Amino acid sequence: MKAVHFGAGNIGRGFIGLLLHQSGYKTCFVDVNEEIVDMLNDKQQYTVKLADASGEELLVENVHAINSIKNPELVVEEIANADIVTAAVGANILPLIAGLIAKGLKKRLTQANKELTIIACENMIGGSSFLKEKVYAELTDEEKGLFDTYFSFPNAAVDRIVPNQTNADKLAVTVEPFFEWVVDESEIKGTTPQVQGVTFVPDLEPFIERKLFTVNTGHAVVAYFGYLAGIRNMHEALENTEIRETIERVLQETGRYLTAAYSFDEQAHAAYVQKIIGRFANPYISDDTTRVGRSPMRKLQNTDRLVRPAIQYVEMFGDIPEYLTKGIAAALHYDFKEDAEANEIQEMIKQKGIQFTIEKTTNINPGTELFDMILQQYENLSIER
Ligand SMILES: NC(=O)C1=CN([C@@H]2O[C@H](COP(=O)(O)OP(=O)(O)OC[C@H]3O[C@@H](n4cnc5c(N)ncnc54)[C@H](O)[C@@H]3O)[C@@H](O)[C@H]2O)C=CC1
Ligand SMILES: O=P(O)(O)OC[C@H]1O[C@](O)(CO)[C@@H](O)[C@@H]1O
C-alpha cells in the first residue's frame, strides 16, 4: 500500500508516518524543506524515540520524499497512485498544497482505481473540509461532481505532543508515548483505509472539541502565562503555582461546557483533564513555551482553542468565563519577537489600539459582555506586567 503524506515535520514523521509504516504503507513524504527531503531519500528510514523511561526506538522504513517546489509533477503522479493521502503542514499551509492535490486527483480520475481518502491532520476544527474547499476551488462543476463520487475528505482529531527536536540525527523524532488519531468515518466513500491506531467514529464533533478545548486550550494558556512570566520551558511554567491554578480553572470552564454539550461523565472528564496535565509535565519531554504558543493570530480565531470555547460557554450558560478570557488576554500580550503573528498583533495594538485588535483577531463584537471582559482582563494584565 502507498501513502502520500504532506509535511515531513514533527507530526508527519513522529506520528502519522510512524502509524502508516506500522500499518504496512510505503510512505512518500512531500515537503519544501530540501534538507529533510534529501535526508529521507538518502536514508529511506528514520527513528522515532518514545519520550518515557523505556526510551524505546521504533524504526520507520520504506519512506522516500519529494520536494514539491522542485518536482511537483512527481507529487501528482504519487497522488494518482496512492491508497491514502494525509497532511500535517499547519492550518495556514493547507491552501498552499490544495493545488497539487487537485492536480493529483484529476490525474487519478483517468485511472481505474479512483476512490481515495484525504485526511488533514492539523490542530483545527474541520481541517479536511477546509482542505477540500481549497481543492474544489481549482475544479470545474463537472470535476466537482466526479470528485464527490470518488474522493473523501473526512475530518480528524490528532493528539500527540511532539516538541521541537534537538536530536543529533536530524531525521530522528522524539515523541510522547500517548497518541490519539480519530477520523470521521461517516464522510468516507468506499472502503475505509486501514491504519492501525486510528479510531473511526460516526461523529467527530465531541472528539475534536474535547481534544482542542482541553489539550490545546490548556497547553496554550500555560504557554502564554509562562512566557509572560519570563519562562521559556513548559515544565517550569507548570511548576508555577499561579499558572497551574489558572490552567486548572480554564479547564474547569471548558470542562463545564464540554460535559454539558456532549453529556460526558463529569468524573471521567476530570480524569481526562488530569491525564492531559500529566502529559504536559512529562519529564522526558523538553518543550518551549514559544513553540506551544506559536502563531497567536491563528490561535485567537473564533474557531480555535481560546475564543471558540469562550463563545460556546457564553451561549450555553449566559455568563462569562473568567479564566478563558484571561487566557485570551494573555495571548494578546504575547510579544515573542521571532513569531511573525505575535509581531503582527503587537503592531496592530500599537497602531490601532487594543479594542480594534480584539475585534480584528477574535471577531467578537464590541459592546458584548465577552468583549468587555477580554478588554478588562487585557488591561489587568497590562498593570501586572
Ligand atoms: N507538534 C505537535 O505536537 C502537534 C502538531 N499538530 C499539528 O500538526 C501540524 C504540523 O505541526 P508540526 O509537525 O509540529 O510542524 P512542523 O513545522 O514540524 O512540520 C510542518 C512541516 O510542513 C512542511 N511544509 C511547509 N510548507 C509546506 C508545503 N507547502 N508543502 C509541503 N510541506 C510543507 C514544513 O517544511 C515542515 O516539515 C500543525 O497543524 C500542528 O498544529 C497536531 C498535534 C500535535
Ligand atoms: O500546533 P499548534 O496548533 O501551533 O499548537 C501547539 C499545540 O499542538 C500540540 O503540539 C499538540 O497537540 C501541543 O503541543 C500544543 O497544544
Q: Which CATH superfamily is domain 2-203 in?
A: NAD(P)-binding Rossmann-like Domain (3.40.50.720)
Closest atom of ligand 1 relative to the 121 alpha carbon? 8
User: Partners of 199 in the beta sheet?
Assistant: 182
Q: How far is CA 190 from CA 145, 149, 283, in A?
A: 16, 10, 43
Give domain 206-384's CATH architecture: Orthogonal Bundle (1.10)
pLDDT in tens, 92-146: 999 999 999 999 999 999 998 789 999 999 999 999 999 999 999 999 999 999 9
Split at pLDDT 50, 70, 90, the class of 223 is very high
Closest atom of ligand 2 relative to the 215 alpha carbon? 16
Closest atom of ligand 2 relative to the 159 alpha carbon? 12
Q: Is ligand 1 within 6 A of the CB of residue 89?
A: yes
* pLDDT recorded at residue 313: 98
CB 74 within 8 A of CB 106: no
* C-alpha 109 chain-centroid distance: 30
Q: Is the pLDDT of residue 246 over 90?
A: yes
Q: Report the distance separating Cα 4 and Cα 26, nearest Å.
A: 9
- Three-point CA angle 290, 312, 307, nearest 5°: 25
* pLDDT recorded at residue 383: 87
Q: Report the distance separating Cα 369 and Cα 271, nearest Å.
A: 32
Which of 94, 161, 178, 182 has most ligand 2 atoms within 8 Å of its beta carbon, as the pocket-test mutant?
A: 161
Give the residue extent of every domain in the chain. Answer: 2-203, 206-384
Give me the mean pLDDT over the 200-209 stretch. Answer: 97
**Other C-beta atoms within 10 Å of 132: how many?**
24
* pLDDT recorded at residue 343: 98
CB 218 within 8 A of CB 305: no
For all residues of the chain together, what is the average pLDDT?
A: 97
Do the domains spanning 2-203 and 206-384 agree at the CATH topology level?
no
Binding-site entries: 3-14
Give me the mean pLDDT over the 203-212 stretch. Answer: 97
- Three-point CA angle 125, 128, 131, nearest 5°: 110
Binding-site entries for NAD(+): 3-14
Cα 9 to ligand 1 centroid, rounded to whole Å? 5
Cα 6 to ligand 1 centroid, rounded to whole Å? 9
* pLDDT recorded at residue 18: 98
- Three-point CA angle 146, 97, 170, nearest 5°: 135
Q: Report the distance separating Cα 175 and Cα 372, nearest Å.
A: 40
| Percentage of the chain lying above the pLDDT 90 cut | 98
Closest atom of ligand 1 relative to the 8 alpha carbon? 37
**Residues framing ligand 2 (Cβ under 6 A):** 123, 159, 161, 215-216, 219, 292, 294-295
Split at pLDDT 50, 70, 90, the class of 25 is very high
**Other C-beta atoms within 10 Å of 256: how many?**
17
Cα 16 to ligand 2 centroid, rounded to whole Å? 15
Give me the mean pLDDT over the 28-51 stretch. Answer: 98
Could you say which DSSP state residue 50 is in?
E
* Cell matching residue 117: 481518502
CB 285 within 8 A of CB 51: yes
Q: Is the pLDDT of residue 385 over 80?
A: no
pLDDT in tens, 327-376: 999 999 999 999 999 999 999 999 999 999 999 999 999 999 999 999 99
* pLDDT recorded at residue 115: 94
Q: State whether the Cα torsion 143-126-89-195 is positive or negative.
A: negative
Give me the mean pLDDT over the 22-27 stretch. Answer: 98
ipTM of the complex: 0.97
* pLDDT recorded at residue 113: 78
Cα–Cα nearest to 260, from 307, 217, 309: 309
* pLDDT recorded at residue 119: 98
Cα 96 to ligand 1 centroid, rounded to whole Å? 13
Cα–Cα nearest to 244, from 257, 256, 258, 231: 231
| Residue nearest atom 14 in ligand 1 by C-alpha distance | 10
Q: Is ligand 1 within 6 A of the CB of residue 32?
A: yes
Cα 158 to ligand 2 centroid, rounded to whole Å? 10
CB 182 within 8 A of CB 156: yes
Which of 13, 18, 29, 31 has most ligand 1 atoms within 8 Å of its beta carbon, as the pocket-test mutant?
A: 31
pLDDT in tens, 155-190: 999 999 999 999 999 999 999 999 999 999 999 998
Which of 124, 182, 207, 219 has most ligand 2 atoms within 8 Å of its beta carbon, as the pocket-test mutant?
A: 219
* pLDDT recorded at residue 190: 86
Cα 93 to ligand 1 centroid, rounded to whole Å? 9
Cα 289 to ligand 2 centroid, rounded to whole Å? 11
pTM higher than the cut 0.90:
yes
pLDDT in tens, 259-293: 999 999 999 999 999 999 999 999 999 999 999 99
| Residue nearest atom 4 in ligand 2 by C-alpha distance | 294
Q: Report the distance separating Cα 113 and Cα 15, nearest Å.
A: 27
